[in-house]
């Protein structure tokens, strides 16, 4: 496992979303519960093993490195400039952030989400 990096940056969680079904978008929620080694409680992508339907059929015991999806809210403004109106949850993310440059953070970065939750960045969603 790669060594985790700790950065001291301030950002904000602006929205959370979850969906039990495998849909492209996720409906916004008032709150979500993060479970260590599992992901977002009640979300279709949670679990120790890969949950993406394509990969799960081919390699069902592959470790799930995509338990929690984050997207920066700043992406929505960029998309709006090109004619696409997108809001929190529309791109399937569990957590929408502001003022965190997620794409520039190295893999292994630990992101503290409130007083009791911390996640490790394991990859980019393309």
| pLDDT tens-digit series, residues 5-31 | 555 578 999 999 999 999 999 999 999
Stretch 27-38: mean pLDDT: 96
Question: What does the alpha-carbon distance between residue 94 and residue 102 come to, in Å, rounded to a whole number?
Answer: 14
Residue 58 covered by a domain? no
pLDDT of residue 8: 52
Residue 63, domain member (yes or no): no
Write down the mean pLDDT value for the chain: 90
For 104, the token pair is 């520039």
Task: Flag whether 48 is in a domain.
Answer: no
Residue 46 has pLDDT above 80, yes or no: yes
CA distance 11 to 29: 20
Residue pLDDT, tens place only, 69-78: 999 999 999 9
What is the span of the domain harbouring residue 80? 5-32+68-120
Residue with tokens 């008032």: 30
Number of domains in the chain: 1
């Amino acid at each position: 496992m790669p060594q985790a990096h700790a950065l001291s940056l301030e950002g904000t969680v602006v929205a959370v979303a979850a969906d039990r079904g495998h849909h492209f978008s996720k409906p916004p929620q008032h709150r979500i519960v993060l479970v260590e080694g599992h992901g977002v409680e009640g979300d279709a992508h949670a679990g120790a093993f890969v949950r993406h339907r394509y990969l799960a059929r081919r390699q069902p015991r592959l470790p799930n490195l995509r338990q929690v999806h984050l997207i920066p809210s700043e992406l929505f403004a960029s998309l709006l400039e090109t004619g696409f109106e997108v809001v929190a949850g529309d791109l399937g993310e569990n957590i929408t952030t502001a003022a965190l440059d997620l794409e520039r953070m190295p893999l292994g970065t630990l992101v503290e989400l409130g007083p009791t939750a911390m996640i490790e960045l394991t990859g980019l969603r393309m």
